[in-house]
């Protein structure tokens, strides 16, 4: 949305989008704010602040996705909390060979819209009920409520899997995908409400080019280069 003309000194370019999951919260709180404004200032302020928080939390900013087909991008905003070689869970059915798992912790301040790490076909979606321990802990990948999407890569072959994991405050995982769907890297595919974690299983033999503690931007930050089949960390910005 643009206010005033492009060449105006008062030109303002507003790039804001709200995820559909947040619309009902914002509308409900806006109505409550208007009602309470007639007789209770305290409740009016509380509802208005909650509405502003929802506008912030459910934001869905546009992202510039790397064009190179061989690059795997982060499915979420947050901080890398774990990188390690592990055997994928049996329920994913992607083999027993060790592959790198990258875990990203999302704080309450991060964008919680999840995005597709690669272009391909949705092969399988596995939902597992569980508990709601703090998502910063590695054991949350095993014990917490989670939803895993397995993708067949369109151009490179192999599989990538990513998991939406509920946290201590998160009580709802939304996944907008279905099995057999053709998808494009970087597109929004769901949301995790109020603090969570996201794991990525790279194809066997592919090494991530990120480090623990690194800040990730969903749909933009490169996690790995599928052409890099060594055990050393490589520059992923090269196609």
Asked whether the beta carbons of 128 and 146 are under 8 A apart, the reply is yes
Query: Taking Cα atoms as reference points, which of 189, 121, 208 lies closest to residue 158?
Result: 121
The pLDDT > 70 percentage for the chain reads 79
Residue 193: which pLDDT band, with cuts at 50, 70 and 90? Answer: confident
> What's the confidence (pLDDT) of residue 136?
57
Residue 141: which pLDDT band, with cuts at 50, 70 and 90? Answer: low
pTM beyond 0.85: no
pLDDT in tens, 19-56: 877 788 889 999 999 999 888 889 999 999 999 988 88
Domain ranges of the chain: 2-57, 71-225
Give the side-chain half-sphere CA count within 13 A for 142. Answer: 8
Asked whether the beta carbons of 117 and 221 are under 8 A apart, the reply is no
> What's the confidence (pLDDT) of residue 133?
58
> What's the confidence (pLDDT) of residue 39?
86
For residue 18, give the DSSP letter. Answer: B
Helix H or strand E segment including 143: helix 140-143
Separation of alpha carbons 162 and 74, rounded Å: 10
The pLDDT > 90 percentage for the chain reads 38
> What's the confidence (pLDDT) of residue 132?
58
Q: Which CATH number fits domain 71-225: 2.70.70, 2.30.29, 3.40.1130, 3.40.50?
A: 2.70.70
> What's the confidence (pLDDT) of residue 74?
94
For residue 208, pLDDT beyond 90 = yes
pLDDT in tens, 61-93: 888 898 888 899 999 999 999 999 999 888 888
CA angle 137, 140, 146 (to 5 degrees): 145
> What's the confidence (pLDDT) of residue 47?
93
Q: Which residues partner with 164 through β-bridges?
A: 147, 198
Asked whether the beta carbons of 193 and 53 are under 8 A apart, the reply is no
Rounded to the nearest 5 percent, the helix, strand and coil shares of the chain are 15, 35, 50
Q: Quick one: average pLDDT of 165-173?
A: 69
Residue 8: which pLDDT band, with cuts at 50, 70 and 90? Answer: very low
Helix orientation angle between 41-57 and 20-36, rounded to the nearest 10 degrees: 170
> What's the confidence (pLDDT) of residue 67?
84
pLDDT in tens, 91-133: 888 888 899 999 999 888 888 889 999 999 999 998 887 665 5
Separation of alpha carbons 32 and 19, rounded Å: 20
Q: Which residues are catalytic, by number?
A: 196
């Amino acid at each position: 949305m643009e206010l005033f003309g492009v060449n105006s000194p008062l030109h303002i370019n507003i790039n804001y989008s709200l995820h559909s999951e947040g619309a009902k919260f914002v509308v409900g709180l806006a109505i409550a704010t208007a009602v309470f404004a007639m007789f209770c200032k305290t409740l009016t302020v509380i509802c208005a602040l909650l509405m502003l928080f929802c506008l912030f939390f459910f934001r869905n900013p546009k992202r510039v996705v790397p064009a190179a087909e061989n690059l795997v991008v982060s499915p979420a905003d947050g901080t890398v909390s774990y990188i390690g070689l592990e055997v994928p869970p049996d329920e994913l059915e992607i083999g027993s060979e060790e592959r790198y798992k990258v875990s990203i912790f999302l704080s309450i301040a991060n964008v919680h819209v999840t995005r597709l790490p690669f272009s391909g076909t949705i092969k399988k979606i596995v939902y597992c009920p569980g508990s709601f321990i703090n998502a910063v802990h590695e054991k949350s990948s095993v014990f917490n409520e989670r939803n895993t999407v397995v993708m067949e890569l369109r151009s490179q072959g192999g599989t990538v899997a990513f998991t939406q994991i509920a946290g201590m405050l998160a009580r709802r995982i939304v996944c907008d995908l279905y099995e057999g769907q053709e998808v494009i890297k970087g597109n929004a595919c769901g949301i995790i409400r109020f603090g969570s974690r996201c794991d990525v299983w790279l194809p066997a033999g592919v090494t991530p080019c990120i480090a623990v503690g690194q800040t990730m931007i969903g749909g933009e930050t490169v996690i790995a280069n599928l052409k890099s089949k060594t055990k050393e960390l490589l520059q992923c910005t090269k196609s």
